[in-house]
Amino acid sequence: MSTSGTANFNPSFGEIGIYAFNLIGIRPTEILQEHMQSLRMAANMLLSRWNAKSPNLWEVSLFTQPLSAGVSSYSYDPAIVTLLDTYISILNTDGSTTDRLILPVTRTEYASYPNKSMEGFPTVYWADRLLAPNITLWPVPDGTQTYLKYYYVNQIQDAALQNGAQLDLPNYFLEPFALGLAARLAMIWAPSMATAMKAAADEAYAIAYDQNTEAGDVFISPMISGYWRT
């Protein structure tokens, strides 16, 4: 059996845009400047929607924030969509590190703490998702902790037409992107095709999203003791 021997298919955003226009009946020779303007906007609006459906596993990274005694709040990059696993890392005298997971709390729960300046080993954090976001630890680090580390989901990089730029997507999300893009362009340039294209786009996205998971076991054990003791 003869095959290509490669697994490098990764067309540019421009090529995928032309394909999306083809799907709604607009041929390459018919594409005008105004088509390209709507293409760029539709693509980035689609990526914005996908950011809201995080976590997108290919955008997950680990950040290390040095801690200072008595400092509870630390800013983080506005391009971060959401924080994931978060932990405190202690540098031991032998050069090794000890990590302890900390858990998120809501604004309401953080507000309920009577002594927000109490120092100790942080056990929880509150992520204040402002346009300039920050993470606040409680108790406040007392200086015996070295780093705050957290996994985060970053925004998908913008779709750009210049210089044959490619998309910041894995291979299995290329078809959902092309169909989703075609559905949005159909709303502008081929309204009669918009419903059918959206159905195709939703199906392709659901298939890709099922692949966008981590393998792992989940164990659920029933509690057999009573809630109250007499």
- Tens digits of per-residue pLDDT, 174-194? 999 999 999 999 999 999 999
**In the predicted model, is pLDDT for residue 229 greater than 70?**
no
DSSP state of 25: T
- Name the helix (H) or strand (E) containing 138: strand 134-138
pLDDT in tens, 37-71: 999 999 999 999 999 998 999 999 999 999 999 99
Please state the rounded mean pLDDT for residues 124-138: 98
pLDDT in tens, 155-174: 999 999 999 999 999 999 99
d(CA 116, CA 72): 9
Q: What is the pLDDT of residue 221?
A: 66
Task: Please state whether the predicted TM-score (pTM) of the whole model is above 0.85.
Answer: yes
